Structure 1
Amino acid sequence: KNIHTDDEVARRAGLPRALAQGRYPIAYISERMLAFFGTGWIQGGKLDVTLVKGIFPGDTITVKGIITEKSPEDDALRLVLDVWLENQHGEQATAGVASGLVRPAAE
């Protein structure tokens, strides 16, 4: 039993109930980056995320991001994004930076 699987253990640790494991919010962000960058995420994606606030079963989370940088890299363009998750109350649950490669369309 631990804070991720048992409400009572989580309460003893000062949490309101069992807490989602950290890999889940990171997976949500990674999934959105794959949808955005496609193979540019697989070939050159980078992700650095900090867990800011707990995510609990039943929370509704939304992945958000904004492009902050563009730089040439080999035959592609690297886009850097600030990324985060928000819960249903508009509270930021994670904060991080993601980047991936965008290649020009074939002519």
Structure 2
Amino acid sequence: MKLVTLTMLVYPATVFAEVSDKAPSTEFFWKIGLAAAIICFVGARMKPWLGIICFLPVAIWFGGLFLELHSRDVGPHLRLEQGAAYFLQAYAAFGISLCGLFAGYVLHRKSVT
């Protein structure tokens, strides 16, 4: 126990916990975004209201993520650790899910007329 305490006093970086350990990975963003794009596309292609219902949980999840990314206590540290590309990928993954919803809606409209 004394060795651990001494190590923390001499080399405090050993007890540094990164902020990005608690944040989702960019791979997880893309998995959520692509899965949501496919589900929303199929739902909106069948019925537009179904695509919107499928999109609501994704919008809530990404909304919570964006609140965390832009919070005053986590956001700046996350930007230092992960860089701006982390933020861009989060927005791009959300954009992919929106594109799936809009593409399904457009194809539904073309099939009706």
Select the structure with the greater relative contact order (CA < 8 A; seq sep ≥ 6).
2
Q: Which has the higher strand share?
A: 1
Larger Rg: 2
TM-score by length of 2: 0.33
TM-score by length of 1: 0.34
Q: Which has the higher helix share?
A: 2
